[in-house]
Amino acid sequence: MHTVLELSASSPWHSQRPASLPVLQSEEDKVNQQSPSAQPGEVDLESIKAAVRTILKAVGEDPDRDGLKETPRRVAKMYAEIFEGLHLDPARHLQVSFAEEYDELVMVRDIPFTSMCEHHLLPFTGVAHVGYIPQGHVTGLSKLARVVEEIARRPQVQERMTHKIAELIETELQTTGVGVIIQAEHSCMSIRGIKKLGSSTITSAFRGTLKTSLSSRNEFLSMIDTRSRG
Ligand SMILES: [Zn+2]
């Protein structure tokens, strides 16, 4: 039977970051001063501005009226921020680990994130539960949250996001098992199309013993009562 070290909503980093990690800067800072690992010039702000003007015109708006004048610029900066994960390597967060004999399941649950559905460019928002079984080394717990945060910042589908997080942890950490569960509400389902407000989508990815051993996986799942999490 594993004992489970569980970090939940009461952990310190969690309480400080209701919507986004403290590493996030203001929109202005983000554009003027790219984070150190980002290559400069990868987001073409001028092209985004021109495209947003085109969209405004195409839907029958006047992009030059007062309220909309600055909108293309704001949207360009917003896209640079919410898609910055395209230019960052989340693996770097996992490249420092600490020797530790602990070999039971470590889980960080309820990591909040917002990502963008690649089919509609609308946000999907939810929480990720990430666990792994260390093998001689552990990573800093906040690093798992950094990985989720950074992988979220790109256009994608929830299924791929879930697998990408699991794959990265499996590749970068010495581990015998990895489990990732993501629960999110997709605004492309709630504000358009079938307009199902409040429905959530749950995806999972398991690797190693968490995939092959039913009892390990059940233990992982028992730590996450998805029914109580809207
Ligand atoms: Zn969508």
Q: Same domain for 103 and 200?
A: yes
The rounded Å distance from CA 190 to ligand 1 centre is 10
pLDDT tens string 168-208: 999 999 899 999 999 999 999 888 877 777 889 999 999 99
Let me know if residue 159 belongs to a domain. yes
The rounded Å distance from CA 83 to ligand 1 centre is 16
User: What is residue 181's three-state secondary structure?
Assistant: strand
pTM of the model: 0.80
Q: Same domain for 72 and 102?
A: no
- Residues with a catalytic annotation lie at 117-120, 158, 186, 188
Q: Same domain for 62 and 102?
A: no
The rounded Å distance from CA 156 to ligand 1 centre is 9
Q: Same domain for 174 and 152?
A: yes
- The DSSP output letter for 226 is G
Report which of 154, 151, 160 is spatially closest to residue 201, judged by C-alpha positions.
Answer: 160
Let me know if residue 182 belongs to a domain. yes
Domain boundary among 20, 54, 85: 85
Let me know if residue 161 belongs to a domain. yes
Report which of 10, 8, 38 is spatially closest to residue 23, judged by C-alpha positions.
Answer: 38
Q: How many structural domains does the chain have?
A: 2
Domain boundary among 85, 117, 138: 85
How many Cβ atoms are within 10 Å of 128's Cβ, its own excluded? 28
CATH code assigned at 58: 1.10.286.10
Q: Binding site, residues?
A: 117, 120, 188
Q: Binding site for Zn(2+), residues?
A: 117, 120, 188
Give buried/exposed letters for 96-107 (b at 16+ CB in 10 A, else e): ebeeeeeeebbb
pLDDT score, position 42: 78
Which protein residues have their CB within 5 A of the ion that is ligand 1? Answer: 117, 119-120, 188
User: What is residue 229's three-state secondary structure?
Assistant: coil
The rounded Å distance from CA 122 to ligand 1 centre is 6
Q: Same domain for 77 and 169?
A: no
DSSP-H helix ranges across the chain: 12-15, 27-32, 45-58, 71-82, 141-152, 158-172, 187-190, 209-212, 214-222
Domain boundary among 37, 58, 85: 85
Q: Same domain for 77 and 149?
A: no
Domain containing residue 65:
45-85
Q: Same domain for 124 and 166?
A: yes
For the chain, which ranges sit under pLDDT 70?
Answer: 1-41, 225-230
CATH code assigned at 119: 3.30.1130.10
